[in-house]
Structure 1
Amino acid sequence: MISDWYLSNVGTQYEVAPMPWLYQKYIGHDNNRDGYMLNMVESRVLSRVWQEWDPQIIHVHHQSSPFPTRIWLPPFAEPIATFAPPLMSRTVNSLGMTMATMLESRGLRGATHMGTGFDAWYPGYVDYLPLLQNQAAFWTETGLYRYATPHFYTLADFPADKRDLRAESLYPSPWEGGWWRIGDAVEYMHVASIAVLDYAAKYREDVLYNRYQSGRDQILKYQAEPPYAYFISQDQRDPVAPVELLRRLAYAGLRVHQLSDPVTHEGLTHPAGTWVLALDQEFGELARQVMSVQTYPDLREYPEGPPEQPYDAAGWTLPYQMDVRVVTATQPLGDDVRAAMQPLTTEATPWDADVSDASPFDRVGGVGFDSNPVAAAIVPKPGATMGSGSTLFLDPAQNNTFRALNDAWDAGASVAVAGGRYAVENISDSERDRMVRDYALQAALGGSVGTPLPRARLGMYRPWSPSMDEGWTRWLYEQYGFAFTNLRDADVRAGELRSRYDVIVLPSERPNGLMNGFANGSVPGQYVGGLGAEGVRSLAGFVREGGTLVCMSSSADLCIDELNLPVENVVRGLGRGVFFSAGSLLEVRTDVSHPLMAGMPERAKIFFDRSPVFTTKEGFEGAVLAAYEADGSPLLSGYLLGEDHLQGQAAAVDVKHGDGHVVLLGFRPQWRGQPSGTFRTLFNASLFHSEVARSAVGADGFWAPPADTDEDEGN
């Protein structure tokens, strides 16, 4: 795909133009960050093949190195994953120095290590997660101009602090500039690869034994110290959520047990059917790395200076993201508990089987996780309906409710909203029973009631400047059966949106990118520009005429500015030394009486990623949907500097604008397909139209603006 794009432009003014679509159908370079969630089929293929083939060393080549260095090699920058097995980290560090030494011996200058860019804190990289499976896994970054086009560099191109070509401890042979061609990059990568093979050949027995010892050490560690295990009940707000979590861990090679009888441990009784994830196994650190709370270290660029930004996420605790209650065992498991723990396994589905959906209750299609015998054995409790009547009531706390709603609309049924639940009518008994069975729904039957909800005519804005957030949203919509249309810039500018759509969703992208897109002359003409003033006017008219515009995270600033909403992003413009939080989990209060928060817990966990924080201004009409507590820190996992800028402020707002609504979500509800505990906020918003939207009100007294603060602080 990339080579085709490049070759189509070679010799033209667009030879080095960026590609106007993602190089992976949905998620672009996030395909490298799906290591533990395994949402994409490519991630599952890598995971399965690497476990079956069982390489001892995994080396993945990336581009590009920090300029003007020519290749970046391990050791990684600080910090690294808290529970990375030490023997594996030492092996990776040795490999990095081995590669650098061979590059120097071949006269290839410019190798560097560590720095402040490529840390290994986040375990989700597909080329780093295997380190938690006791494989020496790492990546390298080789310098590249753009595609295969040569480029000549002079010292004037270098950053000022690199122009003196001073030798440094981890950059002892500075590159002096000159021509750089794709052949040069290939030579560096080739020599680095030969160095890895040379190391593996020379130290074969050490590499093999160290892997064994690393696994053995983890078994011994978690036989002697906590946490000893995680107990995960079948009884959850969304009964499929723990299954989604555990299937992924099992697919990554962890063994999972299920209690055959009730047991009591540390004063708590766990019923039969409870899953147990014991940590005294060779991949125990992998389980702990994704299940525990992250505390990102307070690293500063200089004393009292701004914090060093994480290369990726700072906090990802899966039970928090997926809204799964987990009990951590801090005392050794007794013989009675061990006796009740039955190992889970069943016949696996062949990985190449021709099936549309081996397990309809989880959110990946095809064979999915069922090619792993342990993952295939992890299933939710059967779906069930309580009561009697012709109307099926579905709880939005269960994400599969939305799959059922979309199936129901496909089947010609009617849907209503009633008392915080969705009601499905005019559907056959057989189709109703199939949905409850396939999606493991805990549902109820009753009489006809509620506000009618026609199927939304849903549009998802898809800019030519590729958006991974749009791609993740598109993927999630497809997994849950939403009918939607992608809108390009020309579609938006064409106007008359209200005649075609009820709800339009904007991905989380910065205002400048959404407004302006690719600059004139940077790409072929058909891909130039963004929404522009004409597109914004069209969106404003859409809302005034009764449509719903959903603005996820970063796009909220565009909507506030261009639609002149009586809302302010109170952290906009604050310096990193005053307020900073990237990729972290925070706690908010939610107004569960509002249709947009239906199914949410009263205290919810959100994924905050340089997101906006709201307060309302004079003339505001609508409702605050979620808010931070007025005191204390909302941080649950990750990193937060400047908690006072969040205290008492709003995290999500429904703004009435003309006859329509603008929904501002100050968090990433579907970030990389991980925070399933907030998927329903996006899904509810995607269905928020017609009489349901017109009649929506929030709870009296849920929120009031906090006292004014110094607006100039930190600007």
Structure 2
Amino acid sequence: MKSHSLVLSAVLLAQALFFPQQGLAAPTSPEAFFKQPPGTDYYLANYSEYEGYLKRLAEESDRMELVDIGDTAEGRTQWMAIVSSPENLANLEHYRMISEKLARAKDLDEEEARNLASEGKAVIWIDAGLHATEVVTSQGQIQVLYKMLSQTDAETMRMLDDVIILFAHDNPDGMELVSDWYMRKSKKEDREFEHLPRLYQKYIGHDNNRDSFMVQMPETENINRVLFRQWYPQIVYNQHQTGPEGMVVFVPPFRDPFNFNYDPIVMAQLDEVGSAMHSRLLSEGKAGSGKRGAAPYSTWHNGMVRSVSYFHNAVGLLTEIIGGPTPTKIPLAPSTQLPSGDEIMPISPRDWHLQDTLDYQWTLNRAVIDYASRNRERLLFNIYRMGANSIEKGSRDHWTVTPSKVTTLANAAPYVAEGDEDKFRRPNAPKLIDPALYQEVLEAPEDRDPRAYIISPEQLDYPTAIAFLNALIKNGVDVEKAESAFSAGGKTYPAGVYIVRTAQAYRPHIIDMFEPQDHPHDAEYPGGPPKAPYDITGYTLAYQMGVKFDRILDGVEGDFSLVPDLIATPAGKILGSGGAGWLVSHDANNSFILTNRLLKAGLDPAWLTAPTNVSGTDMQPGAIWVPASDEARLIIAASVTELGLNAVAVDAKPSVEMIDLKPVRIGLVDRYGGVIPVGWTRWLLEQFEFPYETVYVQRLDKGGLAKDFDVLLFADGALSSSGAWGMSRPETQPERKDIPSEYRGMLGEFTEEKTLSAIAEFVRGGGSVVALGSAGRFSQLLETPLEPALAQTVDGAMAPLDSKTFFIPGSILRAQVDNSQPLGYGLPDEVDMFFNRSQTFVLAKGESDVSAVSWFEGRDLLRSGWAIGEEKLAGTIAIADVPVGDGKLLILGTEVAQRAQPYGTFKFLFNALLYGGAE
């Protein structure tokens, strides 16, 4: 066996022969830097090693510049390697500015745009993956970087001259965790990462690819800053695994439906790039690629790295490829063996190694870079053209055609035929109707798209409206502020309101955040069950966050200034001068931060149970009473300024009944490996300064829970599903001996004999359980009077309604709220509520002291998304306060905190936590 030094010498000699540039040494190869060559079976480099290699390459190569784009959730540096020719790197800011001018398309005519496109360089983003257990991309990028920095063939040199490539890593923390976990065992055959102890992004794990329009995680903010506020790449390539069964890789184009808000040029170019990728694989004899119907991926949802790009006029690419460090086999799937338009070149069963995957990835990366090189000028001009199209649409009357409007049009008139021509129509030909109906139905004046949205301080929760505007700004949207009063839409607005005009390049994203999604009806076959979307279908952010806005259908003129950066929450103030204490409205989510600070300091805030009027200010139930003290005064003074709250100083304690609050001991229930909604909930609790302790089954099984907790919080998915909630897939827990000792306390499965018994004792003895989403199953486990409303009996067992009868796969519905009850404090009478295949409830016949806090009323509930059978929700309960013995079961049956987006319904959760522990 050769020594390491001899191998290294041979590698360096080969590099010198391969890289004959005058005066420049070859960059260090991966084989010479890492413990083993990346791509070797049973080996994964971690992020620390990857980071070290990036720094080495940056020192050695004049084709690369290394940029720090921000910190991760765990404090690591998120690096981006900018790769191009030395000449391009010397003029990097010049080319970045060209990319920005063309993408923004502002004050730029076609001739200027063509000149800039001729001069500029195509910019593309190629990342090393989001999902840390999809390990091949991070290992593959090491090889891709080295080859792009070392090869001197004519194609590589052309690519470097024409293209600026942004090689980035989306999830450094996850790469470190997964690689270290995999490599921890000395026996290579025992290595695995199926049993990670926790989520591979500090809070949200796999959902780090669902945060793009909300931008709450630091990694997402770093990525969006590069994509939509700094570099404006024309292509965004986000790599994933694993590929379709019996194949190697899914490559675009995607299946329908695509979202009707973005420019059609995006879809045309997406097809072009995808075809170039397939073609290059085929030309190299690399079989097993599939597209469209080969996998479920679509382009509807805005929340993913590659899909948010469509709403910013960039081509978003996703590939899903097989492989990993542990060798595997390509199985035989008969359905994949016959060539078709979606599966052009089948692959036979065979052994598969990590390097096989990396070879495919190199080809795919190369195809994308080559496409950008050959189409450099057209890519640059087309991103201008799409931006200019958006500006033009936002500057005049424009109508977006939606599925609902098309249905209305189709039902507007009978088929019109001349003579007997109808008999010659081909089968399944489109139905023809009177062309005059086009304008009447599809271009009705009142259905015009807005030219602007105006957000004023007159909000139930103004700090949340500011958070919404900041989410837009983080996505590169221009937000303006009125410097003086102006009129629009027949209304006069004061100085200080915010305006979001649609006459800007990122109009598709703006419309998608303010307007309802109207998802097409997508069936498996005509008359068949609905075809499940790839992700949720309705997510209008303004609705989820409860933000009030005015839609302005005509032009807006006034003295406006562009907001230069993120907006600070406007400072609140103390009103009045009374010395007995303060009253603070319950309307703003930030009031919970104040409450938690008061409780942490050992003070005694309380909730008023009835409305009151203080110094001319109406206070609704839930207003927070803070008795006067020196410490309270300091906390109030600092918090109202920071949090945008107003506190009314009063002369006397209000004479209404109150609910006394106390420091609440929250046990947030999680499982080994981490539950994603639990992670989102954990992040949310930290943002609003709720104290909590993470709890696992072993602790629950011990009983005596009241000693440590006032409230047990079960997020959606924390309790295994069953019956009316569907059946969750069985979780395979690792052998205890295979798990390091610090993680063994996380192991264990929920059982009715031990776990449920301990929880029931806790609740009946005075504790509270807060159950979100599928954890509403506690309504049955604790034998309450609530029964699941959306259920049927199948083979003698309770099951969810079938999808042809009832199907709401992630949409926004309108719900009613009783805001005189503690769980409803601070909420409006009606609220937009996110609903994702959830369960609602009806009361069993007979007497009951269950309080319905939020429910669905009527048959027309859909606000955004897709709903089949929504009428079945009428009269059913979504949020309930259920006494159980001396304690409470607080059921939040819908996903009121889903992905930390629906700020408009957070109060249900926050109220439940404080009320659950209240006196």
Q: In the TM superposition, what is the alpha-carbon distance from 1:152 to its structure 2 partner?
A: 2.4
1:444-486 CA-to-partner distances (Å, cap 9, x unmatched) read 2333353321111111001114211000000011011111111
User: Take 1:244 and 1:586, find their aligned partners in 2: how far apart are those partners?
Assistant: 22
Matches within 5 A, 1:428-439: 428-439=632-643
The alignment status of 1:556 with 2:735, answered yes or no, reads no
- Name the count of aligned residue pairs: 650
Give the equivalent residue in structure 2 for 1:459.
667
Decide which of 787, 800, 824 is 1:568's aligned counterpart: 787
Decide which of 478, 485, 492 is 2:686's aligned counterpart: 478
- The amino acid across from 2:314 in the alignment is Q
* TM-aligned CA distance change 1:119 to 1:215, over 3 Å: same
Give the equivalent residue in structure 2 for 1:352.
none
Q: Contact conserved, 1:587 with 1:604, CA < 8 A, in 2?
A: yes
Give the equivalent residue in structure 1 for 2:359.
187
Q: In the TM superposition, what is the alpha-carbon distance from 1:513 to its structure 2 partner?
A: 6.2
User: Take 2:789 and 2:673, find their aligned partners in 1: how far apart are those partners?
Assistant: 28
User: Take 1:332 and 1:60, find their aligned partners in 2: how far apart are those partners?
Assistant: 38
Give the equivalent residue in structure 1 for 2:598.
408
User: Take 2:916 and 2:472, find their aligned partners in 1: how far apart are those partners?
Assistant: 38
Matches within 5 A, 1:201-350: 201-225=373-397, 226-333=449-556, 338-345=557-564
Q: Contact conserved, 1:110 with 1:174, CA < 8 A, in 2?
A: yes
The alignment status of 1:519 with 2:732, answered yes or no, reads yes
User: Take 2:602 and 2:359, find their aligned partners in 1: how far apart are those partners?
Assistant: 61
Give the equivalent residue in structure 1 for 2:586.
396
Give the equivalent residue in structure 1 for 2:844.
617
Percent identity (aligned): 29
Give the equivalent residue in structure 2 for 1:607.
834
Decide which of 682, 696, 701 is 1:493's aligned counterpart: 701
Q: Secondary structure at the match of 1:133?
A: coil
Q: Contact conserved, 1:518 with 1:528, CA < 8 A, in 2?
A: no
Decide which of 248, 251, 258 is 1:70's aligned counterpart: 248
C-alpha RMSD over aligned residues: 2.0
Q: Secondary structure at the match of 2:395?
A: helix
- The amino acid across from 1:245 in the alignment is F
* TM-aligned CA distance change 1:554 to 1:565, over 3 Å: same
* TM-aligned CA distance change 1:415 to 1:381, over 3 Å: closer
Give the equivalent residue in structure 2 for 1:541.
761
- The amino acid across from 2:300 in the alignment is W
Q: Contact conserved, 1:81 with 1:289, CA < 8 A, in 2?
A: no
Point out which structure has higher relative CO (alpha carbons under 8 A, 6+ apart): 1
1:403-460 CA-to-partner distances (Å, cap 9, x unmatched) read 1011112223211121322222234423211111110102323333533211111110
User: Take 2:463 and 2:577, find their aligned partners in 1: how far apart are those partners?
Assistant: 22
Give the equivalent residue in structure 1 for 2:205.
28
- The amino acid across from 1:40 in the alignment is M
Structure in which a larger fraction of residues adopt helix:
2
* TM-aligned CA distance change 1:31 to 1:520, over 3 Å: closer
Give the equivalent residue in structure 2 for 1:2.
178
TM-score where L is the length of structure 1: 0.87
* TM-aligned CA distance change 1:12 to 1:567, over 3 Å: farther
* TM-aligned CA distance change 1:521 to 1:486, over 3 Å: closer
Q: Secondary structure at the match of 1:444?
A: strand
* TM-aligned CA distance change 1:387 to 1:237, over 3 Å: farther
Q: In the TM superposition, what is the alpha-carbon distance from 1:326 to its structure 2 partner?
A: 0.9
Q: Contact conserved, 1:99 with 1:196, CA < 8 A, in 2?
A: yes
Q: In the TM superposition, what is the alpha-carbon distance from 1:53 to its structure 2 partner?
A: 3.0
Q: In the TM superposition, what is the alpha-carbon distance from 1:691 to its structure 2 partner?
A: 5.4
User: Take 1:260 and 1:154, find their aligned partners in 2: how far apart are those partners?
Assistant: 65
Q: Contact conserved, 1:299 with 1:307, CA < 8 A, in 2?
A: yes
Structure 1 runs of 4+ with >6 Å offset: 513-517
Comparing 282-291 and 129-138, the one that deviates more:
129-138
The alignment status of 1:135 with 2:314, answered yes or no, reads yes
Q: In the TM superposition, what is the alpha-carbon distance from 1:106 to its structure 2 partner?
A: 0.9
Decide which of 624, 631, 638 is 1:422's aligned counterpart: 624
Unaligned stretches of 5+ residues in structure 1: 346-372, 693-715
- The amino acid across from 1:519 in the alignment is T
Q: In the TM superposition, what is the alpha-carbon distance from 1:522 to its structure 2 partner?
A: 6.8
Q: Contact conserved, 1:588 with 1:606, CA < 8 A, in 2?
A: yes
Unaligned stretches of 5+ residues in structure 2: 1-176, 398-448, 610-621, 723-727, 792-799
Give the equivalent residue in structure 2 for 1:363.
none
Give the equivalent residue in structure 1 for 2:411.
none
Comparing 112-121 and 235-244, the one that deviates more:
112-121
1:80-130 CA-to-partner distances (Å, cap 9, x unmatched) read 222122222222221111000000111111111112511111111122212
The alignment status of 1:633 with 2:852, answered yes or no, reads no
User: Take 1:295 and 1:19, find their aligned partners in 2: how far apart are those partners?
Assistant: 38
Q: Contact conserved, 1:459 with 1:501, CA < 8 A, in 2?
A: yes
Q: In the TM superposition, what is the alpha-carbon distance from 1:394 to its structure 2 partner?
A: 2.1
Give the equivalent residue in structure 2 for 1:107.
285
User: Take 1:386 and 1:122, find their aligned partners in 2: how far apart are those partners?
Assistant: 48
Q: In the TM superposition, what is the alpha-carbon distance from 1:392 to its structure 2 partner?
A: 2.1
User: Take 1:434 and 1:127, find their aligned partners in 2: how far apart are those partners?
Assistant: 41
- The amino acid across from 2:483 in the alignment is S
User: Take 1:670 and 1:521, find their aligned partners in 2: how far apart are those partners?
Assistant: 30
User: Take 2:841 and 2:223, find their aligned partners in 1: how far apart are those partners?
Assistant: 41
User: Take 2:308 and 2:179, find their aligned partners in 1: how far apart are those partners?
Assistant: 28
* TM-aligned CA distance change 1:255 to 1:551, over 3 Å: same
The alignment status of 1:199 with 2:371, answered yes or no, reads yes
User: Take 1:422 and 1:259, find their aligned partners in 2: how far apart are those partners?
Assistant: 33
Q: Secondary structure at the match of 1:245?
A: helix
User: Take 1:304 and 1:517, find their aligned partners in 2: how far apart are those partners?
Assistant: 32
- The amino acid across from 2:319 in the alignment is T
Q: In the TM superposition, what is the alpha-carbon distance from 1:386 to its structure 2 partner?
A: 4.6
- The amino acid across from 1:192 in the alignment is L
Q: Contact conserved, 1:551 with 1:662, CA < 8 A, in 2?
A: yes
Give the equivalent residue in structure 2 for 1:703.
none
1:500-519 CA-to-partner distances (Å, cap 9, x unmatched) read 11111001017436999733
- The amino acid across from 1:556 in the alignment is G
